Amino acid sequence: MENFVNENFLEVKAKHSPIEVLQKWRNFCGVVKNPKRRFRFTANLSKRGEAAAMRKSNQEKLRIAVLVSKAAFHFMEGVPAGDYVVPEEVKAGGFEICADELGSIVEGHDVKKLKFHGGVDGIARKLLTCTTNGLTSDNELLNRRQEVFGINKFAEAQVRSFLVFVWEALQDMTLMILAVCAFVSLIVGIAMEGWPEGAHDGLGIVASILLVVFVTATSDYRQSLQFRDLDKEKKKISIQVTRNGYRQKMSIYDLLPGDVVHLSIGDQVPADGLFFSGFSVLIDESSLTGESEPVMVSTENPFLLSGTKVQDGSCKMMITTVGMRTQWGKLMATLSEGGDDETPLQVKLNGVATFIGKIGLAFAVVTFAVLVQGLFTRKLREGTHWSWSGDDALEMLEFFAIAVTIVVVAVPEGLPLAVTLSLAFAMKKMMNDKALVRHLAACETMGSATSICSDKTGTLTTNHMTVVKSCICMNVKDVDRQNTASSFSSGIPDSAVKLLLQSIFNNSGGEVVVNKEGKFEILGSPTEAALLEFGLFLGGDFQGERQTSKLIKVEPFNSTKKRMGVVLELPEGGLRAHTKGASEIILAACNKVINSNGEVVPLDEATNDHLNATINQFASEALRTLCLAYMELENGFSPNDSIPLSGYTCLGIVGIKDPVRPGVKESVAICRSAGITVRMVTGDNINTAKAIARECGILTDDGIAIEGPDFREKSQEELLKLIPKIQVMARSSPLDKHTLVKQLRTTFDEVVAVTGDGTNDAPALHEADIGLAMGIAGTEVAKESADVIILDDNFSTIVTVAKWGRSVYINIQKFVQFQLTVNVVALIVNFSSACLTGNAPLTAVQLLWVNMIMDTLGALALATEPPTDELMKRSPVGRRGNFISNVMWRNILGQSLYQFIVIWYLQVQGKTLFQLNGPDSDLILNTLIFNSFVFCQVFNEISSREMEKINVFKGILDNYVFVAVLSSTALFQILIIEYLGTYASTSPLTLSQWFFSVFIGFLGMPIAAALKMVPVSSS
């Protein structure tokens, strides 16, 4: 079986499996009992093909549109503008342009039409909006706008009702065959024995089918509701918008044409629109068109398309077209039908189900043949082989029903579905624990993780930053908020303070705005917020400083350059460049410094050493250091030029405190005890990184801390020795992180989880087995590349994800062990009995009930066990671990052997043991066998809670689902035996017979405990 599964079902990976591979395993599954149910949670490959075709079409459309718009620039002056008539319903709403016209301008990159309507300002007037203050919050006008232009939501697949799931459960081929059998049984039975006696067998099968269908449909419907809730969470995206003159966060689904949206690196463009101000904006359109080359957006090319990503720069845009009127809306509608990739475990268990199904089918055919042969032999012996009665027909029908039911029981259709059930349960619970799973496979892969590469800022630390130390004009000072700004500024020349405030407020990706309550609010990343807060503490005026100088050029911060720069046109004339970033990088770009007298002096070796020592001192105190510098641009500067990289004057150095999160040290210790190596990968100074890593317990005495530039220079041979010892990588670039992850995965065969928050982290998140994006600090690009979003940006949540991942893996193993035991016993009992005695002890109705116990109810009980702390004391499974382990085979075969011996003994010696005589003796004996078999499964279910530990009762009452399933199984079994005998072919049992049945089942528990003491090799 392992060879069959490994050969045909192991090519599917947790991420990025080719469509050919996904199609291949489907082909191997061949005929399945219920394709609608089996393949419900797998990718719709035809819809994916449609999405790919749509992307190709978009690419061609945009290519033509760009060529046309370029040509339009040359001929625009000579060509008269076309006439445009405003539709009456648009006029009635108070607007002067319709949605279709707006769509054709942006989607068609139509420069001519844009100019005809008066450019961005003209369209803003026609949309009754303002590029400065945005839309007003007048509800009546917003409603009218919504009616005319639509809402920013995409068409989604229709929510399926419970009845759809009932219908899909009825599509099971074996249940349909059994339904036909039941119908024939009813007709023949009533014709032979009349109503109601002749209808009992048929009605019993019908009732069993309906019970199976409704329990299955209920379970599937609950799963679909859980996935729907998770999908809603995945789609919660907020963006910065200006409305009523106030900048605020809004859901992208509330955006309307005319809204003013602020975009920065890593944001997803939320709707089609027009750029009207910003700097260095590069747009990645690959998600829409498949084209990897980024597009520069400016006033000459102002068209922004929904679904594209901001790769660099920042800007403001005005929304023009929303929702299903955009190409992205149409693409998303198709993509949503494509579904999520199936997980490797789902595919592997599909392989197991297929393999066992083939064996079950062979057994069913042989069983039917043996039973029919027994009937023919008996009729030949009696000399009645030429005369066939209705009873004979009913008996043949019963044989056929038993054969079909053996297929029902033998094919473990529930295996791949148990994975989905367990994953859905885990995803819902993880959502409560602040982890949003975007891809199903991430749940199970996280359980195998052997290495976590974590960011420092915001993950290991709180991301609440404040400037606590500074070195300005060579004076090192503590920043004490209890003192006044004047006392802090004493000793710092006024000219230096003025330059410092100019640098802080202009060279910033953040903003200080007045909110609706009239109070100052700082917007931007935690680092920017810390600097702006420091500027306000020094008595600066953000708006006043911004209005004094004119921004000529902005180069936003990114993790490759590790710096940000701006060029200002000063009010007195002249140009000045400001830069800030990683302290040692900016200091290395300086050749001058402001001394304690406020004079600009050359940066000599002694001063340079003093400043480097200050940086190291701040860093050793676990402070994040930033250096600020400026230069006068005397030779002129064009906005098309790059901001100079050297020749700066050092303004000062600030030390920013970002405390370690509570509980991180304990979480790192838990990871270590679980066999998971935690590495810190950060862009910060190496001394800062080492200090934080020691505080977190990541950096140990035998570990290595290395800087990205040094790591890059190492040869492959050196990396082989170095990587296992690396615990901290500082001043790393995104490429360093990607290289480390790739080496760990390929060379060292580790299962790697990686955290990331920036746009440049996307390659590493994509490369990793599990990409973990930060929910608060993370950009939309990082989140889209990730498999799990950590909603609270907390490292402890990552450990919780690992614990849930292990729980999913172990729970499915428990269920597989339980179900395969039932499969083996049910198959062998019915087959051997049919071959040796000519009849099967378990009827079709009884086997359907057993099937439900082991399938839907078994999955509910075992696949939804909550995780325990014990899980994090085991070694990780890793990449090469066998899913069906030797421990499981030991338990399956041992328990199967016990159950088979007991049931076979009852078949042979049951009548003698219980002194059964008379016409009902066979019925009572078969009832005893059925009852004992069911209670064997009930107690085996309890034993399956632990595969290696003897104490299986620990925490059993914490899982109310498990208790409810066991209780309802036992209760329904009593009803079947005592009250539904007419339909289930059972007879009421005496107290001693009940005690014996339950005791036989219970005896399986000490036998399971004894089996766990038998040592087996792990390989």
Q: 240 has which bridge partners?
A: 249, 262
> Residue 574 class from Cβ within 10 Å (0-12 exposed, 13-18 middle, 19+ buried)?
exposed
- State how far the alpha carbon of 453 is from the alpha carbons of 556, 720, 750, in Å: 26, 17, 12
**CA nearest 419: which of 816, 874, 866, 872?**
816
Buried b (16+ CB within 10 A) or exposed e, 153-186: ebeeeeeeeeebbbebbbebbbbebbbebbebbb
Please name the residues in contact with 951: beta carbons below 8 A apart, sequence gap of 6 or more.
none
Q: Which two tokens stand for residue 55?
A: 């992307």
Q: Return all residues near 454 (Cβ < 8 A) that are at least 6 apart.
A: 460, 678, 679, 680, 681, 755, 795, 798
Is 340 an active-site residue? Answer: no
Q: Which residues contact 192 (CB under 8 A, 6 or more apart)?
A: 198, 390, 391, 394
Can you tell me the distance from the alpha carbon of 213 to that of 117, in angstroms, rounded to the nearest whole number? 61
Q: Catalytic pick from 220, 455, 761, 793?
A: 455
Q: How far apart are CA 589 and CA 648, in angstroms?
A: 6
Contacts for 549-555 with beta carbons within 8 Å, 24 or more apart? 549/502, 549/506, 549/576, 551/279, 551/506, 552/637, 552/639, 553/279, 553/280, 553/637, 553/639, 553/641, 553/643, 554/279, 554/280, 554/313, 554/314, 555/279, 555/280, 555/642, 555/643
748's CB contacts (< 8 A; 6+ apart) are 723, 724
Q: Please identify which residue in the block is written with the tokens 């709180």.
A: 462
Both tokens of 137, joined, read 């919050």
Indicate the angle between helix axes 173-193 and 844-852, nearest 10 degrees.
150
For 208, phi then psi, to 5°, come to -65, -45
Encoding tokens for residue 382? 């009696």
Pairing of strands 520-523, 511-514: antiparallel
For 810, other C-beta atoms within 10 Å of its C-beta total 22
Q: Are strands 466-472 and 648-657 parallel, antiparallel or unpaired?
A: antiparallel
| Gap between the Cα atoms of 31 and 411, Å rounded | 11
Residues 6+ apart with CB under 8 A from 955: 866, 868
CA distance 728 to 570: 43
Instruction: Specify the pairing of strand 770-774 against strand 788-790.
Output: parallel
Sign of CA dihedral 884, 890, 894, 900: positive
DSSP state at residue 635: S
* Residue with the two structure tokens 């075992």: 862
DSSP 435-484: EEESSHHHHHHHTT--EEEE-STTTTB----EEEEEEETTEEEE--TTS-
**Mapping DSSP to helix (H, G, I), strand (E, B) and coil, where does residue 115 land?**
helix
Looking from the CA of 663 toward its CB, the CA atoms found within 13 Å total: 9
| Greatest extent of the chain over all pairs of C-alpha atoms, in Å | 125
Residues in a beta bridge with 317: 261, 275
* 581 beta partners: 563, 627
**CA distances (Å), origin 872, targets 440, 724, 801, 867, 956:** 21, 21, 11, 9, 19
Residue spans of alpha helices (H) in 150-199: 162-169, 173-193
**476 close to 616: Cβ distance less than 8 angstroms:** no
**Residues noted as catalytic:** 455
